[in-house]
Amino acid sequence: MGFRKRFLNLCAKPKGFLGRYILRGMNVRHAELADWGISLLPPEPPKEILDIGCGGGRHLHKLLTLYPGASGTGIDYAPVAVKKTARFNREFVRAGRCVSTFGDVSNLTLPAEKFDLVTAFETVYFWPGLISCFKQAARVMRPGGRFLIVHETDGLDPLGRKFEQIIDSMTVYTAAELEEALRAAGFSEVASAHHADHPWIAVIAKK
């Protein structure tokens, strides 16, 4: 396996020095994408936020800044990401508004019906068993809560398909495939949006 392929495969589960480098890059490179997805959320402010696959912690920071009355939990199955998220959000951690912890979306050990906003930025590609993971997300959500998924590929663009061939555990999905899996997982309202200038998609589902 060449260096480029080894490097890109760390995107699924960053570790070590290169993993920390990747997380810093994600915070910068995915900022505009994440902010676009967040802008599509309904105006009601959430009280409890869960960011699954919190990565470098920048997007959770954005949400906690946008919703000053909210508390946030970031989970990731990469220990280096858990530490990075805590450091990036240290002022919110000190204020008691943010927790960063190890977690696996295929088996969430969080309380049922705790969160009214769950987010997943550039991470669903790597989830094992889409419907079962979506059911895990639904379990920890309050009735009426929203689940926001944001991807920089709509599953149809050539670059997204190229990375799917390079990164071993990656599966890209179309908006229609995500919507179908969310409905199968029990979400009642599902809608998607495409960015006007990029192959970005955002899917919002209501429990």
Confidence of residue 44 (pLDDT cuts 50, 70, 90): very high
Give this prediction's pTM: 0.91
Q: Which pLDDT score is estimated for 170?
A: 84
Pairing between β-strand 201-206 and β-strand 189-194 as defined by DSSP bridges? antiparallel
CA torsion sign for 62, 182, 81, 167 is negative
Q: Which domain holds residue 196?
A: 3-206
Q: Which pLDDT score is estimated for 7?
A: 55
Average pLDDT estimate for 36-48 = 96
CATH of the domain at 169: 3.40.50.150
Average pLDDT estimate for 37-42 = 97
State pLDDT tens for residues 128-187: 999 999 999 999 999 999 999 999 999 888 777 777 776 678 899 999 999 999 999 999
Q: How many domains does the chain have?
A: 1
Please provide the average confidence, as pLDDT, over all residues in the chain. 90
Q: Which pLDDT score is estimated for 6?
A: 59
72 pLDDT above the threshold of 70:
yes
Query: Residue 136 in contact with residue 114, Cβ under 8 Å?
Result: no
Name the residue type at position 27: N
Q: Which percentage of the chain shows pLDDT scores above 70?
A: 88
Confidence of residue 16 (pLDDT cuts 50, 70, 90): low
